[in-house]
Structure 1
Amino acid sequence: MADLESGEGKTPVIDIPEAVGVFDTFEDLQQAFYDLRMIGIHHSDISLLANEKVLKEKLGKAYWRASDLEDDPRAPRAHFVSEEATGELEGAIAGGFFFVGSYIAMAAMLTPASTLAASIAAIAIGGSPSAVIGILLARRVGKHHKDYYTNQIEHGGILLWVRLRDKEREEMAVKIMEGHSGRDVHVHSWSK
């Protein structure tokens, strides 16, 4: 553990090298992430810049650029979430709401006074609105994910940090990041 001087005093960091680069598209970032994972870099050693709300809370800046934060140890970090993981979350939300609505409808069907017409009505009333609510919430998750990356790109690009535990992976990580259109790819001697 070491401390780096920053504008507001010392910030604790780890004495492990870290590669950093800036990406202009989510697709390039995602491909770099997959290739980094293929060479054995653990997902917990890969991070992105946190969302704008967290940035404002931590740094108090209403306006920031990726180039200003790539070597700033105070820059808040977030984990990378792949498009597939977001899709799985959207499916789980929509499916979960549909399941709850269907469960309520099935419970209504099991009452002694239930008729076929009442059971069909319970399914229509219980299942459909819940599914619609689930789909709307799932879309909101997807939109939040896209807005996060759009905001990063508008501020100069998507920052990617990769903690590196040996010289061999350091060289491979830099090549991978540059190979997927990473800009200003370099290694600093510390990580957060």
Structure 2
Amino acid sequence: MAQTEKKKDDKVTVIKVPEAVGVFDTFEALQSAFYDLRSVGFHHSDISLLGSKDALEEKLGKAYWQAPDLEDDPRAPRAHFVTEEAMGELEGAIAGGFFFVGSYIAMAALLTPASTLAASVAAIAIGGGPSAVIGTLLARRVNQRHKEYYNDQIRHGGILMWVRTRDKEHEDLAVKILKGHSGRDVHLHPWSE
């Protein structure tokens, strides 16, 4: 089922499952296409994006690249799409986790049989405050890196999205959805990674 393609002394394995590809100029258009693909039955694992700048440099070197050059290159590193909602949940978990840990440590240190409820509440507030600030700063850093990932791809010609299709009906559906959300250069190739 798998075939091997040789390019520049790299061994690349691709599978004979067609894949639709399109280029998006905005994160919002990309996200809308992703939601529509998911709503009509495409699995999350069938949808991939171009990998990070670090992954590109590791796999392809530091050469200047443009999205159209990588649309049909099986060596292009892939990544999963992360929704804004998922990023919000991650930010909340990071900030909340730091608040909880700091509060717990402070409360455990001050909690004795003789301590009052007011002292326990004060310990939570005092211990959790600095930790929550650290958590919030880390969460913002994660969100900033997420935005930089998309902005970097837009600067290089657009955000690439590949959609693995299993039959002619899904090929047509994927192409229609990608084009319907302003995807550029939408086409199919007969393999996927």
TM-score, reference length from structure 1: 0.94
Partner of 1:150: 151
**Could you tell me how far 1:66 is from its partner in structure 2?**
0.4
Unaligned residue ranges in structure 2 (runs of 5+)? none
Q: Give the SS at the match of 1:75.
A: coil
**Could you tell me how far 1:143 is from its partner in structure 2?**
0.4
2-structure distance, mates of 1:124, 1:138: 20
Partner of 2:42: 41
Unaligned residue ranges in structure 1 (runs of 5+)? none
What CA deviation, in whole Å up to 9, does each residue of 1:152-178 have, x standing for no partner? 000000000000001001001101000
Map 1:10-29 to 2 at 5 A.
10-29=11-30
The AA in structure 2 aligned to 1:96 is: G
**Could you tell me how far 1:10 is from its partner in structure 2?**
4.6
The AA in structure 2 aligned to 1:174 is: V
**Could you tell me how far 1:105 is from its partner in structure 2?**
2.3
RMSD: 1.6
* 2:18–2:190 CA contact under 8 A, matched in 1: yes
Matched, 1:126 2:133: no
Q: Give the SS at the match of 2:72.
A: coil
Which is further off, 117-126 or 165-174?
117-126
* 1:22–1:157 CA contact under 8 A, matched in 2: yes
Partner of 2:105: 104
* 1:99–1:127 CA contact under 8 A, matched in 2: yes
1-structure distance, mates of 2:108, 2:135: 20
* 1:108–1:114 CA contact under 8 A, matched in 2: no
2-structure distance, mates of 1:106, 1:120: 8
The AA in structure 2 aligned to 1:151 is: D
Which is further off, 106-115 or 171-180?
106-115
The AA in structure 1 aligned to 2:185 is: D
